[in-house]
């Protein structure tokens, strides 16, 4: 029951007369009338999250809050970046008022922000059980599925949502993202076009549309649209990518240079400018690699394995077996990613350790339960710092991100047991040296050069096998598997 003195203030609030409503709410509070909930709502509405939290936290601590106050507090804490507190508050509300859909929504959003998409998925599911078809909950559930790397499951939810709420811009935008994540580029362009019709003036929607055009193969149109958009760094980066697809390397360089003016520390811009200029960076580009794979992690297996028939870990396992390398007990998987190599090599009595720069890739490897130890580390640094030794060291599809391999080979040699093996895959350059391709941003190495570097590092019994390491735009990419022994 709302106190009668609050009614006119709520009417002012609804009419957008926020200053008057706020003054009234505060007067009520001074007179002992509980205006905490509407005042907190007003503060959130104005982005005054710290003030909202300051108002609600004492009430929550005293246990005199309503479920809606807990929801508002959870929102304020989430917006302040206090994710663990936001989850705690929403979880408590979901225990005390499980019949309220809003508490499940708050718990799901807080968990998503805290990086716990599994809890978020369950929370949105609970909310939807109470109000089937609720648009916000369905939208958020689809987001959780995408975070979990399950975009294919998000698709039907989003398709149903746009069918029932055809003006819901966020649903069309998320549908675009989910469709492109599963490689449905023509359909992604349809939803991006619909989103653009709904809001032709939102620069992010326009950028998503241009990117959908590019991925649907309509490069020329994508370029024309990107050239007309206001130039945020991201816009220039998409334009550069589109121009590269159009074989306009000078135009791509100019676009990356504009991106660099806006975001000089962006590791992607630095990497691709180096690629275009033919400079091989001297240092490992740890920030670039970490960000690339943290972003890619949720989609890595569905895109590579299901979409692009990525099979290098299996090929490497067969290559090892064919060369009699079958009995390794201590294995180190450099750049283990989501653990696909571990899956191939797991065997009773074998200990497999892994390392990777990307925490999100490591989380998936951890979930497979195959690795003994997993380290969040840069491989060269790790090899130089560790006192341990292994009898098999592997790097599958990793050296496409590393320009200079001589120091890596020397460090691996140091960490191998006598008689131990080192095996890895590469993409082959079409010259005598290493190339950094502007279009893909991946390094290609010359196998003959690597054989020399392996020998220089002290390796013997070097074996090579040509393989197709991946497909790019339907074309096989030539690579090699290499194997070498210490001693
Ligand atoms: C294409 S994935 C391959 C993952 C896994 N080896 C496989 O075959 O499925 C490349 C992985 O190498 C990691 N990586 C690349 N360079 C690295 C470095 N210098 N140190 C540690 N990890 C690195 C990336 O983070 C990414 O997870």
pLDDT in tens, 367-401: 999 999 999 999 999 999 999 999 999 999 999 99
pLDDT given for residue 201 in this prediction: 92
The pLDDT value recorded for residue 310 is 80
pLDDT in tens, 141-172: 999 998 887 888 999 999 999 999 999 999 99
Q: What is the pLDDT of residue 298?
A: 72
pLDDT at 487 over 90: no
pLDDT surpassing 90 at residue 271: yes
Residue 248 reports pLDDT greater than 70: yes
Q: Which of 313, 401, 477 to mutate to test the pocket of ligand 1 (most atoms within 8 A of CB)?
A: 401
- Mean pLDDT score of the chain: 94
- pLDDT of 92 reads 96
Q: Is the pLDDT of residue 304 over 80?
A: no
Q: Are residues 352 and 333 in contact, defined by beta-carbon separation less than 8 angstroms?
A: yes
398 lines ligand 1 (CB under 6 A): yes
Q: How far is the CA of 274 from the centre of ligand 1 (A)?
A: 20
pTM, entire model:
0.76
User: What pLDDT does residue 307 have?
Assistant: 62
Q: Report d(CA 394, CA 421) in Å as an integer.
A: 8
Whole-number pLDDT of residue 471 = 79
pLDDT at 278: 87
Q: Is the CB of 362 under 6 A from ligand 1?
A: no
- Is 337 close to ligand 1, i.e. is its CB under 6 Å away? yes
467: CA distance to ligand 1 center in Å?
A: 19
Q: Measured in angstroms, how far is the CA atom of residue 398 from the centroid of ligand 1?
A: 5
CA 399 to centroid of ligand 1, rounded, Å: 8
Instruction: Judge whether residue 43 has pLDDT over 70.
Output: yes
C-alpha of residue 311 to centroid of ligand 1, in Å: 15
CA of 57 to the centre of ligand 1 (A): 43
Which residue is closest in CA terms to ligand 1's atom 23?
A: 335
Nearest CA to ligand 1 atom 8: 396
Q: What is the pLDDT of residues 404-430, one digit of tens each?
A: 999 999 999 999 999 999 999 999 999
Domains of the chain: 287-486 (3.40.50.150)
Output 440 or 194, whichever has higher pLDDT: 194
Pocket test for ligand 1, best of 334, 338, 356 (most atoms within 8 A of CB): 356
Question: What pLDDT, on a 0 to 100 scale, did the predictor assign at position 13?
Answer: 97
* CB of 396 shorter than 6 A to ligand 1: yes
- Residue-wise pLDDT tens digits, 197-222: 999 999 999 999 999 999 999 999 99
pLDDT digits (tens, 9 = 90+) for 336-371: 999 999 999 999 999 999 999 999 899 889 999 999
């Amino acid at each position: 029951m709302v106190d009668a003195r609050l009614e006119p203030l709520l009417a002012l609030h609804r009419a957008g007369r926020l200053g008057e409503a706020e003054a009234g709410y505060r007067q009520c509070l001074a007179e002992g009338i509980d205006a905490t909930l509407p005042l907190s709502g007003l503060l959130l509405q104005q982005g005054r999250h710290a003030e909202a939290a300051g108002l609600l936290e004492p009430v929550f601590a005293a246990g005199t809050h309503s479920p809606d106050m807990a929801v508002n507090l959870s929102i304020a804490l989430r917006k302040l970046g206090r994710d663990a507190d936001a989850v705690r508050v929403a979880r408590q509300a979901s225990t005390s008022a499980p019949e309220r859909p809003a508490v499940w929504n708050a718990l799901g959003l807080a968990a998503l922000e805290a990086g716990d998409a599994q809890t978020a998925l369950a929370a949105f599911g609970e909310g939807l059980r109470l109000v089937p078809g609720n648009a916000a909950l369905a939208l958020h559930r689809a987001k959780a599925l995408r975070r979990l790397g399950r975009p294919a499951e998000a698709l039907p939810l989003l398709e149903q949502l746009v069918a029932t709420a055809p003006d819901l811009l966020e649903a069309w935008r998320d549908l675009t993202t989910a469709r492109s994540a599963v490689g449905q580029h023509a359909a992604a362009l349809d939803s991006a076009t619909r989103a653009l019709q709904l809001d032709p003036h939102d620069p992010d929607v326009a950028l998503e549309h241009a990117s959908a055009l590019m991925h649907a193969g309509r490069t020329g149109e994508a370029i024309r649209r990107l050239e007309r958009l206001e130039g945020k760094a991201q816009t220039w980066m998409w334009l550069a990518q589109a121009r590269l697809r159009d074989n306009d390397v000078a135009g791509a360089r100019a676009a990356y240079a504009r991106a660099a003016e806006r975001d000089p520390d962006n590791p992607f811009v630095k990497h691709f400018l180096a690629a275009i200029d033919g400079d091989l960076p001297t240092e490992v580009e740890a920030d670039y690699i970490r960000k690339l794979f943290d972003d890619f992690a949720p989609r890595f297996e569905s895109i590579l394995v299901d979409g692009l028939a990525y099979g290098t870990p299996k090929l490497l396992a067969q290559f090892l077996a064919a060369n009699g390398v079958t009995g390794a007990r201590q294995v180190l998987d450099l750049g283990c990613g989501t653990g696909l190599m571990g899956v191939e090599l797991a065997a009773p009595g074998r200990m497999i350790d892994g390392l990777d720069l990307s925490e999100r890739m490591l989380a998936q490897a951890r979930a497979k339960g195959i690795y003994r130890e997993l380290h969040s580390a840069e491989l060269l640094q790790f090899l130089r710092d560790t006192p341990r030794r292994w009898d098999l060291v592997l790097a599958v599809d990793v050296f496409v991100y590393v320009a200079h391999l001589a120091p890596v080979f020397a460090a691996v040699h140091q960490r191998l047991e006598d008689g131990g093996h080192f095996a890895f895959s590469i993409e082959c350059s079409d010259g005598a040296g290493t190339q950094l391709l502007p279009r893909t941003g991946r390094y290609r190495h010359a196998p003959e050069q690597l054989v020399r570097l392996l020998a220089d590092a002290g390796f013997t019994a070097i074996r090579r096998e040509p393989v197709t390491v991946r497909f790019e735009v339907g074309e096989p990419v030539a690579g090699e598997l290499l194997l070498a022994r210490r001693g």
